[in-house]
Amino acid sequence: MKKYTVTYEVDGPDIPKIAHEIAIGQSIGNPNIRSEIENASNIKEYIAQVKDIQGKIVKIDFPIRAFDWPNINQLMCIIMGGHTDILGVDRCRVIDIDLPTKPTGPVLGMSGWKKRLDAEHRPLFGAIIKPKSGLDKEQLLSLVKDMIYGGADFIKEDEIMADNSYLPLRERVDMIEHLKNVSGWKGFYAYCVNADPIELVDNLKKVADTAVVGGVHINFWSGLGAYTTANRRGLACHYQRSGIRILTDPDNRFSISWPVLVKLGIMAGIDTMHVGMLGGYYPEGESEEETMEAIQMCVDHDRVASLSCGMNPEVAKEIRGMIGNDWMASIGGWLHTGDSIYERCNTMRKSLE
């Protein structure tokens, strides 16, 4: 049976015992009690195996047939589940996962978006709509016009917006798609579709039914499986990570490293991803090493790594000097601190030429 390998960093009084309890408990049942059925040969085929233990680093092989891919939510339930409730597991961090499955391709990917936007020679420019909520039609339309004509390649609604009563998603889609047609803009407009599962699928349909090259923005709180769902609808998807430290912070007793979640996003078929920031106002302690790893993973798999949180033209120039052109400078606050969004967008775009 094919396996996938999960690498954990664990701590506790008995590392081999922890490894055993994760392997058995997260594959077939109670680590220390075997019923007659659990000893049946067909059940034993699904037992995860401890592959290697090096100090606190534990590698476990799980049977991939225990769930049907793609099903990221179920995968997460397996690899970071009941063992977090067991005495003796003081800390557990997932630091890698190796799935014998090819990533789902993006809708356009880095190469596709760059070709569509004639941007092979520069980083992409992403503009973020502010304020986060409360905008009416005229205000949103004015902001988006300034961003389009100011040179933005990517426009993202904030993760707070979603579908709402004051400016419903359907109205936004009709309005923005009309503007895209009139202006001839070929960029990526990411409608915020965050929602519970049934409403999320409905939101995706609202975009897919109208947009020619549809784009959506989904925060991880909607579930990692939301990204596979968006891809299946043919929608270019932006993976937004605000709040992710509740999962990734290494100070948490139980956590998942950010590169693992980046890898799963790539497997799910996202087009763009907020991978973090280099500089800006990210808090002290944020791992630049993990951010650089995430950027490289996106480059290797033809995805767009978006950097934001304190972005401005000068910071963008510095980052470009560090990592080149294969990324997106996403900017929110700086665009909205001047009198003219159009002029600020134009300045930002010129800084990336």
The answer, yes or no, to whether residue 162 has pLDDT greater than 70, is yes
3-state secondary structure of 39: helix
Angle at 151 between CA 145 and CA 154, to 5 degrees: 80
Which pLDDT does position 279 carry in this prediction? 83
3-state secondary structure of 172: helix
Alpha carbons 146 and 212: distance in angstroms, whole number: 21
Q: Starting at the edge strand that comes first in sequence, how are the strands of the sheet with 3-11 ordered?
A: 49-54, 57-63, 3-11, 91-98, 254-256
3-state secondary structure of 19: helix
The answer, yes or no, to whether residue 34 has pLDDT greater than 80, is no
Q: What is the mean pLDDT of residues 328-348?
A: 93
Name the burial class of residue 191, with classes exposed (0-12), middle (13-18) and buried (19+) by CB atoms within 10 angstroms of its CB. buried
SS (H, E, C) 256-281: ECHHHHHHHHHHHCCCEEEEECCCCC
Which pLDDT does position 283 carry in this prediction? 54
Residue whose pair of structure tokens reads 């760059």 in the numeric block: 114
Alpha carbons 231 and 216: distance in angstroms, whole number: 10
Q: Residue 87: which pLDDT band, with cuts at 50, 70 and 90? A: confident
Count of alpha carbons within 13 angstroms of residue 327, beta-carbon side: 30
Which pLDDT does position 160 carry in this prediction? 95
